[in-house]
Chain A
Amino acid sequence: MLSDFSEKIQGLFRKFRGYGKLTDKEINEICRDIRLVFLESDIALSAAKKIVEEIKTRLNGLEFTTETSPGTLVSNVVREELVNLLGKPGNIDFSDKPSVIMMVGIQGSGKTTTSAKIANYFATKENKKPILVGADVRRPAAQLQLEKLAQSIKVPFFTDKDPFLAFEGALKLAKANGNDLVIIDTAGRTHVDEELLNELKLLNDRFQPKNNILVIDSMMGQEATKVAKSFFETIPLTGAILTKFDGDARGGAAFSLREVTGVPLVFLGVGEKIQNLEKFDPTRVVNRIIGMGDIEGLMEKVSDIKIDINKKPPQEIEKWNFDTFLDSLRQVRKMGPLEDLLSMIPGFSNIKQMKDMVPDEKQMKRIEAVMLSMTAKERKKPEIIDASRKRRISKGSGTTIQEVNQLLKQYEMFKKMFKSKNLKKGMKLPNFPVGRI
């Protein structure tokens, strides 16, 4: 996420880590560098200017003591100012019965997918009863796309031949069926298309949805603020969602949106799967950029996956075998790519070499394949695996004998490691340390 931006920022901090006391000249130099990084990260000119001024004022007023290094002080200031710039997260207003969310934005920003993600979010996390409405009658198969997504998350779907009829019909249906959240997916329109913007205005005037949400692609450049402005001038926007936040865009849009239009961010789209929608939290976003990790996000992921209590790994090392390993491996994989999880651990993104040590999805699959090619007996008692069994396992899993050997070796090492530590009763065992095989 925003890896390009965070690399630049972190590089900046490394540069003046060694500084002692900061002189005026050095402060100016730092501020110039920061401004350049911001501008190159697609942050709007006005927003970049403003935040750099703030940072400069605060740096000038800093007292440098021997306890804290200037590097830490500066990064604290930058972090706080970035958090300020992002602003407080917005909310969805549920005061209407049913409450309505109208999704707007330009073509290809991700409105349809995000509509379904929001329905899924509120249905699973806040027990809402959403209905998805396909009001995009322009793009071929757009309604069908939403209908299919609705089916996949078991949410009702409604559409009609024009957006006004769809809107009206959906409201009636929601009232009749007790749906408390109506999500309207509108057609993509450019921010310079007067005719279509006018249609949006008419929709808003007639139905007055409490939530008008602008969907914006986080890869968008300097254009993002203009888009936001022209939509904002057409209808009262209540919030924004940045999509494709899992790419390596510089995310300038995120940092200038609030500053330029005052529209708060509500959610972030962080992946292709329907559950990849995150509540926007400025501190967490900035911490990930500065390389401070996102422990909260990690905990959320852990609590999100439903861990099967019966499959909890046994506390006693004696009871560990490949069956338990397989279970824990699958539990971890449920949380998503390992790389994403590790980037949430503080300090981890700073260690470049660590990236190469993390097994990717493909390797995880190979490890899983090796374990699955063992017989039930072999998984319970790995000691019985001899040369001929190894040959069979490697053939069955499409791996080499060396790979099978390595996994067995790692298993032995793991057991030894924890035996030698004399684990106390009740101490939680970590998951199987899956290395590169």
Chain B
Amino acid sequence: MFLFDKVKEALTRTRRVFSSVVGMENIDWDEILEKFLLVDVGSDVATEIVKDAKKRWLNAAPIEIALRDAIEDFLPEGKPQLFFTEERPCVWLLIGVNGSGKTTTCAKLAKYSIEEFKASPILVAADTFRAAAIDQLKIWGERLNLDVISQKENSDPAAVVFDGLKASKGRKKSPIIIDTAGRLHTKDNLMEELKKIERVIGKEIEGEPSEVLLVLDASTGYNAVKQAEVFGQSLKVTGIILTKLDSSAKGGYVLNISKKFNIPVKFIGVGEGIEDLVPFDKTQYAEGLIP
């Protein structure tokens, strides 16, 4: 299957870390634990998974199956989906730290919504801070033949969102995909700005935003857990999009985030192309992690 291959390919580098584990004659559990740490799984969760895998292994499961199952069972049940309905305009809000890949992901999500829901999406450029961020989204809009709502740089992002919602409703577009400025979760004032955006959306369309998607860079270390915590305290984060999984070995921290905050990973970014956004599948993830 095409998608499956892509995910597997994206995770090959992670798998390499674990390849020495398979077929180990004398299993060194400490070494396995260390391997988990090296793919940025936090120590508490790593310990838990290794413990679980050990139990399965003692029940005569081969080591790689034991590890895979332990990882898979650790992640929540069911296939994560994005909320979309034709009854009202839906709003998908993208947030995250600087450079995590929000703008590109907005475009990928627009494309996805067209294919998956036959929807007619619209993009809102609410990153008014970074120079040329608006232009970047506009270029994507042109390529995909989509409307992009924007204002001047440095204008109030909440005002851009308000205008965007009005215009989208008028043009009968949905989902309304909003790109926000990257911000470090440690900047309180910038987190307040996001809350304001969320409030504006809720006031304009009841029950929205239906998706608040936190975009995380797969090469980030354990700090990603901190990011999930703080963004999650400020907004009702509905899912995670894990980007740049093609470039790096990591993303192990999603296990910690899943356990600690119960936020599911919804999509993974596996390349620079517009199609390179794949729904997260925990079985594939586990199989990708352990060969």
Instruction: Point out residues on A near B: beta carbons under 8 Å.
Output: 3-4, 36, 39-40, 42, 45, 106-110, 113, 138-142, 144-149, 152, 190-193, 217, 219-224, 226-227, 244, 246-250, 252-253, 272, 360-362
Contact = CB atoms under 8 A, between A and B. Distances in A.
B140 A222 contact: no
Interface string B228-257: 000000000000000010111110010000
Nearest to B143: A140
Q: Which 5 A-B pairs have the closest CB atoms?
A: A221-B221, A108-B99, A190-B247, A145-B132, A140-B139
Interface stretch (B166-174, B180-188, B259-267): B180-188
B220 A222 contact: no
Interface in B127-177: 129-133, 135-136, 138-140, 153
Given A246-B186, A361-B189, A107 B135 contact: no
B8 to A, nearest CB: 15
B277 interface: no
A164 to B, nearest CB: 21
Given A139-B136, A223-B40, A361-B189, 12 more contacts: A3-B186, A4-B223, A40-B42, A106-B248, A107-B99, A144-B131, A220-B220, A220-B221, A221-B223, A222-B40, A223-B249, A227-B248
Given A107-B99, A223-B248, A226-B249, A247 B136 contact: no
A395 B101 CA distance: 44
Given A140-B135, A191-B247, A247-B185, A222 B221 contact: yes
B129 A144 contact: no
B219 interface: yes
B13 interface: yes
Nearest to B181: A272
A190 B246 contact: yes
Contacts of B184: 244, 246-247
B48 interface: no
B97 interface: yes
Contacts of B185: 247-248
28 contacts: A4-B226, A39-B37, A39-B43, A40-B42, A42-B40, A42-B222, A45-B38, A107-B244, A107-B247, A108-B99, A108-B244, A141-B135, A141-B136, A142-B132, A144-B132, A145-B130, A145-B132, A145-B133, A148-B153, A217-B99, A217-B219, A222-B37, A223-B221, A226-B249, A244-B98, A246-B186, A247-B97, A248-B186
Contacts of B217: 108, 217, 219
Contact of B248 (A3, A40, A149, A190): A190
Contacts of A106: 219, 244, 247-248
| Prevailing SS type, chain B contact patch | loop
Contact of B38 (A40, A145, A222, A250): A222
A222 B220 CA distance: 8
Nearest to A217: B99
A252 B38 CA distance: 13
A247 B249 contact: no
Contact of A45 (B34, B100, B224): B34
B246 to A, nearest CB: 7
A248 B227 CA distance: 9
Given A192-B247, A221-B250, A141 B219 contact: no
Nearest to A148: B131
Contact of B219 (A138, A220, A249, A361): A220
Interface of B: 13, 34, 37-40, 42-43, 97-101, 129-133, 135-136, 138-140, 153, 184-186, 188-189, 217, 219-224, 226, 244, 246-250, 253, 272
A227 B221 contact: no
A140 B222 contact: no
B161 to A, nearest CB: 20
Contact of B221 (A42, A147, A149): A42
B4 to A, nearest CB: 20
B223 A250 contact: yes
Contact of A140 (B37, B38, B98, B136): B136
A411 to B, nearest CB: 27
A247 B223 contact: yes
A250 to B, nearest CB: 7
Nearest to B249: A223
B187 to A, nearest CB: 8
A228 B224 CA distance: 20
A145 B131 contact: yes
B40 A108 contact: no
A360 B190 CA distance: 13
Contacts of B153: 148
Nearest to A252: B221
B252 to A, nearest CB: 8
Given A40-B43, A108-B217, A192-B247, A247 B38 contact: no
A382 B288 CA distance: 71
Contacts of B224: 219
Nearest to B130: A145
Nearest to B43: A40
Contacts of A360: 188-189
A108 B97 CA distance: 10
Contacts of A248: 185-186, 223, 226
Contacts of B43: 36, 39-40
B250 A223 contact: yes
A141 B129 contact: no
A224 B222 CA distance: 12
Contacts of A226: 248-249
Contacts of A152: 131
A167 to B, nearest CB: 21
Contacts of B34: 45
A3 B187 CA distance: 13
Nearest to A361: B189
Contact of B223 (A108, A140, A141, A249): A249
